[in-house]
Amino acid sequence: MSEPQGAAPAPRSLRPGTVTALLVAPAYAWLTLAIFLPLVAMLVFSFLTVAPFGNRVAEFTTTHYLVFFNRPYLVEVALRSLALGAWTTGICAAIGLPAALALSRAFRGRTRELLFFLVILPFWTNGLVRVFSWTMVLRENGILDDAVRVLWPAAPSFGLLYSQPAIVIGLVHAYLPYMILTCYLSVVAIDDAVLEAAKSLGARAPVVFWKIVLPLAAPGLIAGSVLIFVPVIGSFMEPRILGGKAGVTIGTVIEDQFTQAFNWPLGSALSFIMLAVVLVIFAVFSRALRGRLTAS
């Protein structure tokens, strides 16, 4: 096919501002529709006595925000959810940063591409399938036990399924790619000359890591932690399936309010309280981290 000669209209010139607005508009329209409006609706619901469906009359109330005082057992649930978030994020960082370093420093070309593919693979598998395959691995006399018994036939069963560690394992598997990718972006930007300079000045590997790599990788670590910590606190699928009776988190409590109690207002209020808690934690941490980074 050939372009019709001379028939093309002269391109109209648009001002750069208009172009930017046009390019950005679809994204913002989508965000408004898909995120902002539902969030506002949920915020409104959280101040109502009942969800205003059918012929039920909703009135204004703030009692849902006192839920942690009215139901003290939820405090423990919330603390356990935060601990779950801390463990998952910590383990992701402990595995993800070395993996990112290896990817950026030790591998090149095809090998690196293949390893990246393996890192991203969990993203492409259905979450439910992933979690159910973990149940087969972790359960008593499951694949993990069988594997250990190949080396040590009399090994006792791990019996990890239906416990807090099982939930952490499932969550780490799901969220590790975020940490590896964000860390990789930070680490790959570190100039080799900086590391060589440190070594030539006599710094041993641990010192190089602590004084140079870690501070320079911090933006990636922080971004990865934010991406992981928030969804883990609200997770409900992994706790339900891998946690057994240990699988009670703020996420499952919120889910029950929506699906079992039809109490959308309480579910929304719990979500916003947890959002506030997370924001406070990040505010404290980012201040502490900024202090540490500028000091070093």
Partner 1 sequence: MRTLVDRRRFNLMLGAGVAAGALGAAMPRARAAGKITVLNWQGYGTDEAWALKLFAEQTGIEVVHDNYNSEQEMFTKLRTNPGAYDVVVINSAWTSRIAEEGLLEPIDFATVPNAVDLDPLLKDSGNFVFDGKTYGVAWVWGMNALGVRKDKAAGVDSYDVLLAPESADRVALFDDAITEIGIAALMLGQKIDDPSDMPAVIDKLKAMKPSVKLIWSSEDQWNKAFSAGEFDYSIYWSGAAGRSQKAFNLPVEFIVPKEGAIGWLDGLSVPASAPNKAEAVSFINWMIDPAFYVKWATDVGAPASANTKAMDELPADDPQKLIHKTEYLKQLQFMSPMPDERRQAFVDAWEEVKAFYAS
Give the interface with partner 1 as residue ranges (CB under 8 A). 50, 54, 71, 73-74, 76-77, 80, 132, 135, 139-142, 161-162, 240-241, 243-248, 252-253, 256-257, 259-263
Nearer to partner 1, 158 or 162 (CB): 162
Rounded to an integer, what distance in angstroms lies between the CA atom of residue 78 and that of residue 50? 24
Instruction: Give the nearest distance from C-beta 284 to partner 1 in angstroms.
Output: 26
Phi, psi values for residue 60, rounded to 5°? -75, 140
**Helix 164-188, helix 127-138: angle, nearest 10:** 120
Nearer to partner 1, 44 or 49 (CB): 49
Beta bridge partners of 48: 60
- Which has the closest alpha carbon to 140: 123, 122, 160, 116? 160
Instruction: Give the nearest distance from C-beta 108 to partner 1 in angstroms.
Output: 43
Nearer to partner 1, 140 or 196 (CB): 140
Instruction: Give the nearest distance from C-beta 248 to partner 1 in angstroms.
Output: 4
Q: Which residue bears the tokens 């890192």?
A: 119
Nearer to partner 1, 162 or 184 (CB): 162
DSSP per-residue letters across 51-78? ---TTPPP-B--GGGGHHHH-THHHHHH
Rounded to an integer, what distance in angstroms lies between the CA atom of residue 250 and that of residue 80? 9
Rounded to an integer, what distance in angstroms lies between the CA atom of residue 176 and that of residue 96? 6
Nearer to partner 1, 182 or 257 (CB): 257
Beta carbons of 157 and 141 less than 8 angstroms apart: yes
Nearer to partner 1, 65 or 282 (CB): 65
Instruction: Give the nearest distance from C-beta 255 to partner 1 in angstroms.
Output: 10
Instruction: Give the nearest distance from C-beta 279 to partner 1 in angstroms.
Output: 24
Instruction: Give the nearest distance from C-beta 38 to partner 1 in angstroms.
Output: 20
Nearer to partner 1, 43 or 83 (CB): 83
- Which has the closest alpha carbon to 90: 143, 168, 8, 37? 168
Instruction: Give the nearest distance from C-beta 206 to partner 1 in angstroms.
Output: 40
Nearer to partner 1, 263 or 268 (CB): 263
Dig out the tokens for 117 from the structure: 């593919």
Dig out the tokens for 89 from the structure: 């994020």
Q: Which residue bears the tokens 């839920």?
A: 67
Beta bridge partners of 248: none
Instruction: Give the nearest distance from C-beta 167 to partner 1 in angstroms.
Output: 11
Dig out the tokens for 115 from the structure: 């390893």
